[in-house]
Structure 1
Amino acid sequence: MATDFWASSHYKRWIIDRATLRQARTDDLQYVEDPEYLEFFSIFFANVIAKLGKKLNLRQRVIASATVFFRRFYLKNSYCETDPFIVIAACCYVAAKAEESPIHIKNMVAETRLFFSQPPYSVKSFPSDNSKLAEMEFYLVDDLECDLTIFHPYRTLLSLCKTESSSDLQAEAGEVAAGIDDGLRYWGSGDGQLELPDGALQLAWSIINDTYRSNLCVVYPPHLLAITALYLTLVLHSPTREMLQSHSSSAAQQVQSQLTEHQTSPRRSSRQASHASNTGKKSAQDFIGFFADLNVSMPLIATIAQEIISLYTLWDRYKEDCPPDNTARTSFQGQATQAGSPFSSTTHASRSGSLSGAGTPVTVAPEVPGDTQRYGGTGVVTPVILMQILARMRENRLSDLSHPASGRPVAVNKMLERTQAAG
């Protein structure tokens, strides 16, 4: 198993651009009323994978791998031509194997069938035959080109941070991605680590979890997502932000004091100044200097941060009937409320799957069903609505395939057609 991200298939074959993403959704765009719904599908399906993973007692790393497999599969397929729920089951099944946490196929089929039969999914067509899941596993691995080694931002996050109680997080992050933490590719000088409180580290971990609700995991390398998570943590985590502001104020005062002292005592030797600084109190950690020393493009980090904020803005319009645990999104809404943004009219529960043992969830006010005024008249989007849209897309696609313009029927099962063509 590869331990060097830069030599891996993940880096060489599965980091794509936005044009490839748009091309992958070409067929779906023909059957959806509003292209924005496809962005909601990304949130919806990621939440489904997270919920199913919790039901199966899968680790967060396995859930993250299953989500990446799902994203990669739909780079080559469309929602309107496949059944996303059998794909989700296959992704979880393959990810559990790849992350050395295998599940028996009988248990997988039974638990998944029961889970998808309940509202809001109410999928009655999920197969009870184990061979159907095994067949879908074959198609999935084929489309993934047998590239099952996934590098996640969790390992990089722990490499950049220094904390005393990170044993559980260390086990969750795994050892596969160790190679990405070596060398000067992005580490810069490698001088020290960020000393963050446990709450800040857990928040950064939750931000990484949230990025799997979008296509960021197939657009950017994992270490950039980890650095961006730390970048946002300094803004979202109140104690850390206050510490940063205090340090900035003290640093400015220190510079002003040195300038004043230099003007009043111009003949003071540099050795005396150095001795005075060495005998003084140990300075606080320089967060800005730490990020400046990293061998990455900070404008690119700011761009990724803006994309994560855009994800939270879109996510605010997505309403789960039973929201999961709170994560970083609640912190983002709190900061937006203080800044006087549209979030200030209400506080919403987070929908993201959180890290097990990631601290006490933040208590937030419940949402008011049917309240559309706070979204500018656009209304909320629920799983039930997305299920209806998905069903309509598939029906229209099947209708077009059965009655094409040429008058000749077209094979509906593209996977079966491809298998038969291969002999």
Structure 2
Amino acid sequence: MSDMPDVNNSNQQPYIKTIADKKSLAEKPSSTIPSELSLAFTLAFNSFSVSIEQTISISAITGIYGDSGSGKSTLLRVIAGLEHRANGQLSLNGTALQNSDNKCFIKAEKRQIGLVFQDSRLFPHLTVYENLAYGAKRQKNRQLTIDKVLTLTQLNKLQHQNVTQLSGGEKQRVSIARALLAEPKLLLLDEPFSALDKTTKSQMLTILKAIQQQLKLPMLYVSHSLSELQYIADQLVIVSAGKMSQSAPIHQAIHELNSRGETSPKTSLSLTIVEHLPDYGLTRLSLPTIQSSNQSSNHSSNHSIYSPILEQTSNPRLIGQQLPFIIYARDISISTTKPEHSSIVNHLPATITAIDYSNTNALVTLNTDGQKFYAQISLWSTKRMALTTQATVFIQFKANAVHSYHYTEPTHHA
């Protein structure tokens, strides 16, 4: 570690409409059986239509990605029962929520589905606890208590405060807590943290992930930010021009977008935290080895990747945890020789598996121990280095190019 580069450490609130009947989330745990959402509907507007036929198996958090106006929010409104004009069928875990053929339409309040919008509708004259108690009294036979939900959303110390005194992130936690008290079978979130700064947003995402893991509550999370979805979701569907793609594991789905030209090419991967190096402002991560058929069973890799330090306190509880990271293809360079004397701290051997040319640059797909990396370089560099598939090269990128939504500093205002 003698040659480390410099590293720079990196109000609109959600309205939640809770939808539930007498059966509670706790009565049918989803720890082993994923929820199945079947969609086959069309919804036409004056100049736009949504037509989706898809079945999604949701065991944790499924991300929904797409540009503005692609149909993401409309999709959630149909699932929640807020679009009576939608024509077709919709079911959750085999229970029909809508069937136009026999005029079946379960009202929103009976669907056991929670919907989180971007704006909050908390009662301004009530405290946090009073807002939750008002929503909880409408749910009979509850298994979740207000105290339990306050703990889940980290609101215990704020429960007696008036909601007008809360920060944007705190108000959002109250709204989410109110939704949880309805004990939905499915929670829909429509860009609930879009108005927050990145530090607060990353903390909210971490809290939401913890809630999902503790309650085993399936969630659909809409965002136009791939890095946000990569941090929170385990799988992803793409909505474009009113159509929806098949769901795919999060890293695979992001890599598939690279070839569609819809987003800046990037490498999406999960890395294990090995150690913090506060003297250098870095965290060392390990690159997992993906076993292939031609590798021996005892094959292992000692490749490390360095990122900006993930917590200023270098909290040891993070050691051993696996987190998702993104590296933009434009930040990865290629060398035909091993970079022995470089200030760039990250360099890995790789094999070129594909080269896709455009008018001005080339997107190079590389493999390191079974992990895909993507580098975007100029056509001139591709020709000058005579790059070809199956060639052995080295990739290199700065620590600052390794991005994670994991927060870097704790805050009392999330």
Structure with the higher fraction of residues in strand conformation = 2
Indicate whether the TM-score tops 0.5. no
- In the superposition, the TM-score normalised over structure 2's length comes to 0.23
Structure showing greater Rg: 1
